[in-house]
Amino acid sequence: MIPLQIAIDGPVGAGKSDISARLAQELGLVYLYTGAMYRALALACFRNGIGYKDAPRVRPLLEKYRIDLTESDPKSGKAFKVLLNGEDVTQELFQPEIDKGSSAVSTIPEVRRFMVKRQQDMASNQRVVMEGRDIGLRVLPGATLKIFLTATLEERARRRHELQQAKGLRKSYAEVLQDTRDRDLQDSTRQADPLTKTSDAWELDTTGMTREQVVERIINELKIRHLI
């Protein structure tokens, strides 16, 4: 029997991580946050002083560093834990520098091929909610349900701004709006598998919805389609 596999793609700030983690918890599925793997690679570049788009120097890092996504430590407040050669780097992955670096490193085609293969192995025969940019397109093309989660640019920037303020970062809303616009542009115009909504994906615009409402709406959709 094919396991229930839910693919969630969409632009930065659409609420993918939060929604995916909650959905996985509600349905008892494994939550796989693929962005964390690109972030961990960006951190490896940063630590080694390697430019995020310097493909010949980034490539060997894929062999040198093992990136693992594991179950979270309940105290961490995160739904996952990321190991870089066994070291827990979860807390370091969400600095603005690594935000930008992960988007840049993900434009390298060999990096994408490597990550996609690893992610497919991780999901194999598992009941999962997998979240990223190319899950429906490349990682799980046969996913049970493909969701394309969106929200307006302004709402996504507002959510990111709120999160950053809570973390004590002092960027203005205007700056976060511009960062969000830049990330959208890089993620959707890169040559290798740019962020796109596949024709078989169900689009859910979360503008003005609470997290609870979004999770409820998705569970409802799974029921309507007789998937759960």
**Tokens at residue 176, please?**
């976060």
Smallest gap from Cβ 224 to ligand DC, in A, equals 27
Compare residues 196 and 225 and give the one whose CB is closer to ligand DC: 196
Site for ligand DC in 178-207 (CB under 6 A): 183, 187
How far CA 193 is from CA of 46, 49, 134, 203, 227, in Å, comes to: 24, 26, 7, 19, 28
State residue 114 phi and psi, 5-degree precision.
-60, -50
Compare residues 113 and 127 and give the one whose CB is closer to ligand DC: 113
Query: Which span sits near ligand DC by CB under 6 A: 30-38, 46-54, 160-168, 199-207?
Result: 30-38
196: which DSSP letter?
-
Kindly tell me which residue out of 6, 41, 134, 136 binds ligand DC, with binding defined by CB under 6 A: 134
Contact 123, 79 (CB under 8 A): no
* Residues in a beta bridge with 163: none
Smallest gap from Cβ 193 to ligand DC, in A, equals 7
What is the full DSSP assignment across 120-157?
Answer: HHHHTTS-EEEEESSIIIII-TT-SEEEEEE--HHHHH
Answer yes or no whether residue 164 interacts with ligand DC by CB under 6 A: no
Query: Which span sits near ligand DC by CB under 6 A: 19-27, 83-91, 127-135, 213-221?
Result: 127-135
Residues of this chain that interact with ligand DC (CB under 6 A) are 12, 34-35, 38-39, 102-103, 106, 132-134, 183, 187
